[in-house]
């Protein structure tokens, strides 16, 4: 029976010739992560060794580096267990990053693999033609046994055609999909992104698609393989891999086609990522902002910093706005530094910081207060997400964030270029 | 796992996020055992329905709209469990929240049409293995799909959650 990419990966991981949607399977996980909490549970249960320590990745990203004594102690617990359990891939502060970005840079998630990590944005690994699914603290089970139960999901095919117009990016693509289909039809299902339009996107833009797959409700959000992905992985993959492609005639529960040529910059309005309007419409509402945030596993990549630096170069962030920049990884930070992007952003008046999840989830480094209005390149704008329940958050691309930083109000990035 | 449960209903809308159930700033203290779920419960729904945590009593039920538990992988069922909420019944349930609930031994049921069955303050009875919810005031019933008894999530629920299940798994046979 012809299978989708997700079905093929799950069949292989479950050791079966084929699987079909609705079936329960036990699958062997190729890549996972470990946190201090999960490892402590295993230690308390008397587990002496992990099922497959070389498949385990660890870092500390949410409060990087430790923001108080408590997190410092947590980090030390993690370091202790990394040694005790001989975890192969651990990244110390300075060499760290947000897990989804960091592990991708190091070739952790590869085509054809089954990845299962704790954080919800673990759908990000789908960019690598990998079935990457978030499982919360269930990693404790995977760490101990190497196994994960899954109900084989139905697949939704998103066919991308055309090419992106100027100042539109992966973020605008995924916000546009969220606008069209909402967050409910994707629940329990796998998304499959493909078509010539996908292959015309940069890896960074595709990464944003898979990353926000979770906002579509997805169990996984897998992209087709192509030569560009092969080239990205060439220096990173430490093992051979086998890309998967959908079998001709495989079954999709739904199909959507998105014409990139007709895309416009998009903005998700409070308080849900599905509450999407065009940036032009939102510009008409004259929404003044107090903070903008450029960063996160969604849009903190080199491409995003380049776009923002290009818009902000030789200009100044609006006097009423504070701009926080946090690259998705320290590798991005270093590369952006060597290209002069961090300098450009700092000269424009932005606060350029290190890599951390902090601002995105209201943890630290620019938590919002009551009445704050933030334009963010991150992934969620639920009430209270970035701090106060009295704050409002809008989501958009790095270009929309940078343009908004200049104007002091949410604008379509194409407006800046026209004025400039 | 009880065969049937009964409780008073609280109603919430669509897209109740994990940020509303367990705000980000207290998530990690809770996960690290630094803040008790009971204390965390005083923040539960405080952004969308301040004071609700004082009104809810053990045994109550929640009816949610679509995509209940949207968002993060955090254990957002913990504050509900700490408040004594017996179960969440929602039009649809976000997958990761659903999985976390099973792992935490907390009952969550995707039950399309549930929003029409009862008003807030009314009573529902849920017969778990039959997959039926009954509106006590009118006797009206609604069926929901039940997972196969031998499926991994049902085995985990029967064991009382993931950690008890893992213990049986690790025990040499």
Q: pLDDT per residue over A56-111, tens digit each?
A: 999 999 999 999 999 999 999 999 999 999 998 999 999 999 999 999 999 999 99
Contact, A191 vs A221, CB < 8 A?
yes
Q: CB–CB of A389 and B47 under 8 A? A: yes
Query: Is residue B19 assigned to a domain?
Result: yes
Nearest residue on chain A to B164, judged by CA atoms?
A: A45
Residue A419: its pLDDT value, please?
Answer: 58
User: Which pLDDT band, with edges at 50, 70 and 90, does B33 fall under?
Assistant: confident
What is the count of structural domains for chain B? 1
pLDDT recorded at residue B28: 86
Residue B156 lies in a domain: no
Residue A236 Ramachandran class (φ > 0 left, ψ -120 to 50 alpha, else beta): alpha
Per-residue confidence band for B58, with pLDDT thresholds at 50, 70 and 90:
very high
The proportion of chain A whose per-residue pLDDT surpasses 70, expressed as a percent, equals 99
Spatial separation of the C-alpha atoms in residues B154 and A159, rounded to whole Å: 36
**Closest CA in chain B for residue A380:** B71
Q: With respect to residue B14, please indicate whether it lies within any of the assigned structural domains.
A: yes
Q: What is the mean pLDDT of chain A?
A: 97
Asked whether the beta carbons of residue A187 and residue B100 sit closer than 8 angstroms, the reply is: no
User: Which residue(s) pair with A24 in the sheet?
Assistant: A151
**What CATH number does residue B69 fall under?**
3.20.19.10
Determine the distance in angstroms separating the CA of A233 from the nearest CA of chain B, rounded to an integer.
28
Phi–psi pair at A61, nearest 5 degrees: -120, -30
- By C-alpha distance, the chain B residue nearest A388 is B47
What are the structure tokens assigned to A29, written together? 């996980």
Does residue B95 fall inside a structural domain?
A: yes
pLDDT in tens, B65-117: 999 999 999 999 999 999 999 999 999 999 999 999 999 999 999 999 999 99
Q: Does A100 touch chain B (CB under 8 A)?
A: no
Model confidence band, residue A133 (pLDDT cutoffs 50, 70, 90): very high
In this structure, the number of other CB atoms found within 10 A of the CB of residue A19 comes to 23
Q: Would you list the DSSP string of A325-369?
A: EE-SBHHHHHHHHHTTHHHHHHHTT-EE----SGGGGTSSSS-B-
* Whole-prediction pTM: 0.96
pLDDT reported for residue A418: 61
The tens digit of pLDDT for each residue in A267-289 reads 999 999 999 999 999 999 999 99
Whole-number Cα distances in Å, A144 to A42, A52, A229, B157: 7, 8, 32, 19
Instruction: Name the minimum distance, in Å, from the CA of A418 to any CA of chain B.
Output: 37
Identify the sign of the CA torsion A220, A225, A228, A232.
positive
The answer to whether A313 and A342 are in contact (CB under 8 A) is no
Record: contact A45-B103, CB cut-off 8 A = no
Residue A106 Ramachandran class (φ > 0 left, ψ -120 to 50 alpha, else beta): alpha
Answer whether B29 sits within 8 Å of A70, measured CB to CB: yes
pLDDT band at B172 (very low <50, low <70, confident <90, very high): low
Among A185, A188, A157, A177, CA closest to A268: A177
- Contact of A44 with chain B, judged by CB distance below 8 Å, is answered with no
Interacting residues of B33 by C-beta distance below 8 A, sequence separation 6+: none
pLDDT at A362 over 80: yes
Answer whether A144 sits within 8 Å of B151, measured CB to CB: no
Map out the domains of chain A with their CATH numbers: 5-260 (3.30.499.10), 266-419 (3.30.499.10)
Is the Cβ pair A217, B34 closer than 8 Å?
A: no
Q: What is the largest CA-CA distance in chain A?
A: 65
DSSP string of A205-227, one letter each residue = HHHHHHHGGGGGT-SEEEEPP-H
Domain membership flag for residue B93: yes
Distance between start and end Cα atoms, chain B: 24
Q: What span, in angstroms and rounded, lies between the C-alpha atoms of A316 and A346?
A: 10
Does residue B43 lie in a domain region? yes
Q: Is A228 left (phi over 0), alpha (psi -120 to 50) or beta?
A: alpha
Q: Which tokens is B31 given?
A: 């996960």
- List the alpha helices (DSSP H) in chain B: 18-21, 24-31, 37-40, 52-55, 78-82, 95-103, 114-117, 152-159, 162-170
Task: Report yes or no: B64 and B90 within 8 Å, Cβ to Cβ.
Answer: yes
The reply to whether B171 falls in a domain is: no
In a domain, B16, yes or no: yes
For A120, which of B67, B71, B166 is closest by C-beta distance?
Answer: B71
Q: Which of B12, B166, B171 to mutate to test the interface with A (most CBs of A within 10 A)?
A: B166
Q: Could you tell me how many CB contacts below 8 A there are between chain A and chain B?
A: 126
Distance CA B172, CA A390 (A): 53
pLDDT at B3 (0 to 100): 84
Cα nearest neighbour of B152 on chain A: A149
Residue A417 confidence (pLDDT) above 80: no
Minimal Cα–Cα distance from B3 to chain A, Å?
23
Give φ, ψ of B32 to 5 degrees.
-90, 0
Between A122, A184, A367, which is nearest B67 by CB?
Answer: A184
Identify all chain B residues contacting A217, using CB atoms and an 8 Å cutoff: 67, 70, 94-95
Minimum CA–CA partner of B155 in chain A: A149
Predicted confidence (pLDDT) at residue A420 exceeds the cutoff of 60: no
pLDDT at B173 over 60: no
**From CA A404, how far away is CA A40, in angstroms rounded?**
44
* Mean pLDDT calculated for residue range A156-179: 98
Classified as helix, coil or strand, B55 is: helix
The token pair at A320 is: 């009423």
Query: ipTM of the predicted structure?
Result: 0.95
Nearest CA in chain B to A370: B47
Selected residues 360-399 of chain A with any CB under 8 Å from a CB in chain B: 361-363, 367, 380, 382-385, 387, 389
> A369: which chain B residues are within 8 Å (Cβ-Cβ)?
none
Residues forming a β-bridge with B61: B9, B87
| Inter-residue contact A377 to A175 (CB < 8 Å) | no
> At A236, is the pLDDT very low, low, confident or very high (cuts 50, 70, 90)?
very high
Question: Tokens for B79?
Answer: 């504050």
Q: Please give the full DSSP string across A93-111, using - where no structure is assigned.
A: TTS-B-HHHHHHHTT-S-T
Count of residues in chain B: 173
What is the extent of the structural domain holding B119? 4-146
Q: Quick one: A162 exposed, middle or buried, by C-beta within 10 A (0-12, 13-18, 19+)?
A: middle
């Amino acid at each position: 029976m012809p299978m989708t990419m997700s079905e093929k990966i799950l069949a292989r991981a479950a050791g079966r010739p084929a699987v079909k949607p609705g079936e329960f399977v036990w699958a062997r996980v190729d890549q996972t992560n470990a946190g201090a909490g999960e490892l402590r549970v295993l230690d308390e249960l008397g587990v002496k060794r992990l099922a497959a320590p070389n498949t385990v990745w660890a870092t500390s990203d949410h409060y990087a580096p430790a923001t108080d004594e408590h997190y410092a102690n947590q980090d030390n617990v993690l370091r202790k267990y990394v040694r005790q359990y001989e975890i192969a891939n651990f990244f110390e502060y300075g060499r760290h990053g947000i897990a989804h970005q960091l592990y991708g840079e190091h070739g952790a998630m590869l085509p054809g693999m089954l990845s299962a990590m704790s954080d919800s944005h673990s759908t990000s690994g789908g960019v690598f033609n990998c079935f990457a699914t978030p499982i919360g603290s269930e990693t404790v089970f995977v760490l101990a046994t190497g196994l994960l139960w899954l109900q084989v999901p139905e697949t939704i095919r998103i066919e991308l055609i055309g090419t992106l117009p100027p100042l539109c990016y992966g973020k605008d693509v995924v916000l546009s999909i969220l606008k069209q289909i909402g967050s409910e039809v994707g629940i329990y299902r796998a998304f499959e992104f493909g078509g010539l339009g996908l292959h015309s996107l940069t890896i960074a833009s595709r990464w944003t698609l898979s990353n926000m797959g979770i906002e579509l409700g997805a169990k996984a959000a897998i992209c087709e393989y192509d030569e560009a992905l092969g080239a990205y992985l060439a220096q990173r993959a430490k093992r051979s891999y086998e890309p998967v492609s959908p079998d001709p005639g495989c079954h999709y529960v739904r199909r959507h086609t998105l014409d990139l040529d007709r895309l416009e910059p998009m903005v998700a309005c409070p308080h849900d990522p599905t509450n999407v309007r065009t940036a032009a419409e939102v510009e008409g509402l004259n929404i003044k902002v107090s903070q903008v945030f450029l960063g996160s596993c969604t849009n903190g990549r080199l491409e995003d910093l380049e776009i923002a630096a290009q818009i902000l170069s030789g200009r100044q962030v609006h006097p009423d706005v504070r701009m926080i920049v946090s690259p998705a990884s320290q590798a991005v930070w270093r590369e952006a530094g060597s290209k002069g992007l961090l300098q450009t952003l700092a000269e424009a008046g932005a606060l350029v910081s290190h890599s951390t999840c902090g601002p995105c989830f209201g943890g630290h480094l620019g938590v919002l207060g009551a009445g704050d209005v933030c334009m963010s390149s991150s992934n969620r704008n639920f009430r209270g997400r970035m701090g106060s329940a009295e704050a409002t958050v809008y989501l958009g691309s790095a270009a929309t964030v940078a343009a908004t930083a200049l104007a002091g109000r949410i604008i379509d990035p194409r407006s800046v270029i026209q004025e400039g | 796992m009880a065969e049937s449960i009964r409780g008073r209903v609280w109603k919430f809308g669509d897209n109740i996020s994990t940020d509303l159930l367990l705000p980000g700033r207290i998530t990690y203290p809770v996960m690290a055992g630094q803040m008790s779920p009971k204390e965390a419960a005083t923040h539960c729904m405080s952004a969308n329905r301040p004071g609700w945590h004082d009104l809810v009593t053990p045994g109550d039920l929640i009816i949610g709209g679509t995509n209940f538990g949207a968002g993060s992988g955090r254990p957002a069922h913990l504050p509900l469990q700490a408040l004594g909420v017996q179960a969440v019944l929602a039009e649809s349930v976000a997958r990761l929240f659903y999985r976390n609930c099973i792992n935490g031994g907390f009952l969550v049921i995707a039950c399309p049409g549930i929003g029409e069955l009862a008003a807030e303050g009314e009573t529902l009875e849920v017969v778990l293995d039959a997959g039926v919810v009954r509106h006590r005031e009118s006797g009206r019933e609604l069926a929901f799909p039940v997972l196969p008894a031998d499926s991994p999530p049902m085995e985990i629920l029967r064991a009382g959650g993931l950690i008890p299940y893992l213990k049986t798994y690790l025990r040499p046979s």
